[in-house]
Amino acid sequence: MNTRTSGSIRPATIPLDPDWGTPQVSAIVSEVPPDSPLLLAGDTNMRDQEDSVPGELGLRDAWLEAGSPPGARWTWDTHVNRYYQNGHRYTARYDRILYRGCTVTELAVAGNTPASREPGHFLSDHFALIARVTLH
């Protein structure tokens, strides 16, 4: 993880790992001082059975905190997005916004419609999460 300090915000980048999930989230949390705000957003590859993990690490899950809005649940939906033409069809909530020391007041899914007139032309195999975040 590469970090640099910028005022009260410490931006960080981590290498993308398609299987990062719970172990990498735990590792990131352990590296950040507990009194520092933390915002993790992106493809965590966490499954529904791992929904309790963020809370165990002192993090909140934006989707759960927003009341679990059905329209913002699936960030992977191969019924709609046939990015992988030969894959089986299913839905998942792989992408998460996990945080502490801030408030997420809005949450929406974006990129869940074709990017052109071609019905199968999506920008990614995942849909994006968009949130409004306020630091405490």
**At the top level of CATH, which class does the domain 2-135 belong to?**
alpha beta
Q: Are 98 and 56 in contact (CB under 8 A)?
A: no
Residues 6 or more apart whose Cβ sits within 8 Å of residue 61: 51, 54, 55, 96, 97, 98
Per-residue pLDDT tens for 104-128?
888 999 999 999 998 889 999 999 9
In this predicted structure, what is the pLDDT of residue 63? 94
32, two tokens: 């950040």
The alpha-carbon radius of gyration of the chain (Å, integer) is 16
In this predicted structure, what is the pLDDT of residue 42? 87
In this predicted structure, what is the pLDDT of residue 10? 61
Per-residue pLDDT tens for 2-11?
444 445 566 6
Return averaged pLDDT per consecutive 10 residues of the chain, 136 residues in all: 52 59 86 91 88 94 92 93 86 94 92 91 92 88
